[in-house]
Amino acid sequence: MAGEWILMVTAQTPTNIAVIKYWGKRDESLILPVNDSISVTLDPEHLCTTTTVAVSPSFEQDRMWLNGKEISLSGGRFQSCLREIRARATDVENKEKGIKISKKDWEKLHVHISSFNNFPTAAGLASSAAGFACLVFSLAKLMNVKEDHSQLSAIARQGSGSACRSLYGGFVKWIMGKEENGSDSLAVQLADEKHWGELVIIIAVVSSRQKETSSTSGMRESVETSLLLQHRAKEVVPKRTVKMEEAIQNRDFASFAGLTCADSNQFHAVCLDTCPPIFYMNDTSHRIISCVEKWNRSEEAPQVAYTFDAGPNAVLIARNRKAASLLLQRLLYYFPPNADTDMNSYVLGDKSILKDAG
């Protein structure tokens, strides 16, 4: 492995949006959740992270840049992901460049990581999900890790819980698992990206400002203070995930929309039940909910589902292209860009596949 060389891998990973939310950890350091969650992975064209990882004997330490700015890798989460991937590294041979790296060499070699998001970081658009999934996926490629996507998801989970679901496209379930060491807390694909092709996802960016309360600290406070969270995790989510899986398998939009909206609303109710209360949605978010609810009730069947993560931005899932175009018309009419609402952009997305751009 001696000499002057550099080996690089680039990968692209989309973000995912939970339709049954993860909110609360039973183990903070291993990132083990208090309930199962289900998400849909977006099209990588619209909301994704692109990460390039490089290794060279000339690198003196592990370093990382996010959107062009160097960030510290000293955090426990980065270190967990790097450690877990390094432990699984295998021999790599690149005949073209005359490079041979043995399993043992990986312990001494340092990596440089450069990551770009094509959407606002930490504004409730699940940037950490795409980020850690892409980090783990690209490092695994670089180090020739043989683990499958589910096993890699258990590593990405240690970077950020929701990241484990971005290792797959389509509909994905994060199984909370029972083991204390977290070995069975991983993601599985429920249905691939082609399964429900009619759905169209529109993200209404109400605000791209960074959120005040991070998901990590918000959910910690909810676990410590919210009784509703205990009820939700034990009584509500187990039944709801079964129904959601059925709705997805049967492409039953009415049931899917009902469950998605109810789960988003309950998650935000848990935030309100937290002491001190956490407000992620704002007036514009509430107006979007009313607008969708009224429209759905005026039709024979629901046309659109809404869900909000730890921020005010609305993720709207339309049953088909016709409903999506009607939805866009309504959004533009009720929330004209640059009017007194601070909402000024709409991002369109479909479901996605994980792309290996390396």
Residues 38-67 that bind ligand DP6 (CB under 6 A): none
Residue placing its CB nearer to ligand DP6 in the complex, 18 or 204 = 18
CB of 267 to ligand DP6, least distance (A): 6
CB of 36 to ligand DP6, least distance (A): 10
CB of 180 to ligand DP6, least distance (A): 18
Burial of 343 (0-12, 13-18, 19+ CB in 10 A): buried
Q: How far apart are CA 193 and CA 179, in angstroms?
A: 30
Q: Which stretch binds ligand DP6 (CB under 6 A): 18-26, 226-234, 249-257, 282-290?
A: 18-26
| Structural tokens at position 97 | 């460049």
Verify binding: residue 274, ligand DP6, rule CB under 6 A.
no
Cis peptide before 276 (omega within 30 of 0): yes
- By CB under 6 A, name the one of 37, 49, 222, 285 that touches ligand DP6: 37
Task: State which amino acid sits at residue 76.
Answer: G
Distance of CA 213 to the CA centre of its chain: 17
The full DSSP string for 181-233 is: T-TT--EEEEE-TTTTTT-EEEEEES--SPPSS-HHHHHHHHHHH-HHHHHII
The residue count for binding ligand DP6 (CB under 6 A) is: 15
CB of 250 to ligand DP6, least distance (A): 23
N-to-C CA span, the chain: 21
Residue pair 263/38 in contact by the 8 Å Cβ criterion: no
- By CB under 6 A, name the one of 9, 13, 14, 21 that touches ligand DP6: 21
Verify binding: residue 126, ligand DP6, rule CB under 6 A.
yes
Verify binding: residue 160, ligand DP6, rule CB under 6 A.
yes
Residue placing its CB nearer to ligand DP6 in the complex, 37 or 303 = 37
Residues 203-262 that bind ligand DP6 (CB under 6 A): 215-216
Residue pair 68/50 in contact by the 8 Å Cβ criterion: no
- By CB under 6 A, name the one of 9, 187, 202, 310 that touches ligand DP6: 310
Q: How far apart are CA 86 and CA 136, in angstroms?
A: 10
| Structural tokens at position 247 | 């709705």
Verify binding: residue 14, ligand DP6, rule CB under 6 A.
no
Residue pair 150/69 in contact by the 8 Å Cβ criterion: no
CB of 198 to ligand DP6, least distance (A): 23
Verify binding: residue 313, ligand DP6, rule CB under 6 A.
no
Using CA atoms, how far residue 249 sits from 162, 165, 200, 246, in Å, is 22, 18, 17, 5
- By CB under 6 A, name the one of 9, 11, 18, 233 that touches ligand DP6: 18
- By CB under 6 A, name the one of 12, 128, 158, 303 that touches ligand DP6: 128
- Binding interface with ligand DP6 (CB under 6 A): 18, 21-23, 31, 37, 126, 128, 160-162, 215-216, 309-310
